[in-house]
């Protein structure tokens, strides 16, 4: 389980080392506050291609911040937020904006995320 300090460090690494292409945080115990710290770093990770956040149900609505920030990542092609289980309408809206803005997305795994119930 990542602590707040861990996630701040990950956010800083993402911001400072902009050549990172893949981040795998599956099953890492992300919470609302830790996800927000990582989202800040993702905003600057312009070379990121793959982001895996599966099985982190405590992220809740903060995943919408991650998705929105990734919409401006020109190379992001694979995002996995499966097993979120508690997606909100904000998450569904962020996914809509991500797809609308980003031209690079090839794979968007939303299995067991609860997003389908929120789409209009």
Query: For the domain that residue 79 is a member of, what is the CATH number?
Result: 3.80.10.10
Write the pLDDT tens digit of every residue in 80-120: 999 987 778 888 899 999 999 988 999 999 999 888 888 87
Using the predicted structure, report yes or no on whether residue 75 has a pLDDT greater than 90: yes
Cα separation, 26 vs 24, whole angstroms: 6
What per-residue confidence (pLDDT) applies to 54?
A: 95
Number of domains in the chain: 1
The alpha helices in the chain, defined as continuous H runs, are 4-16, 32-42, 63-70, 89-101
Instruction: Tally Cβ neighbours within 10 Å of residue 2.
Output: 19
User: Which H or E element spans position 109?
Assistant: strand 107-109
Per the CB < 8 A criterion, the answer to whether 19 and 46 are in contact is: no
Domain that holds residue 76: 4-118
pTM across the whole model: 0.91
Using the predicted structure, report yes or no on whether residue 17 has a pLDDT greater than 80: yes
Q: Taking CA 118 as the corner, what is the angle to CA 1 and CA 24, rounded to the nearest 5 degrees? A: 30
Using the predicted structure, report yes or no on whether residue 51 has a pLDDT greater than 80: yes
């Amino acid at each position: 389980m990542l602590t707040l300090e861990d996630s701040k460090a990950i956010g800083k690494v993402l911001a400072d080392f902009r050549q990172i292409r893949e981040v795998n945080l599956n099953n890492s115990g992300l919470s609302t506050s830790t996800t927000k710290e990582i989202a800040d770093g993702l905003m600057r990770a312009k070379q990121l291609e793959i982001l895996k956040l599966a099985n982190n149900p405590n992220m809740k609505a903060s995943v919408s911040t991650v998705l929105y920030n990734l919409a401006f990542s020109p190379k992001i092609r694979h995002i996995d937020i499966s097993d979120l289980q508690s997606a909100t309408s904000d998450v569904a809206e962020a996914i809509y904006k991500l797809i609308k803005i980003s031209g690079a997305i090839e794979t968007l795994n939303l299995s067991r995320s609860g997003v389908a119930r929120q789409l209009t």
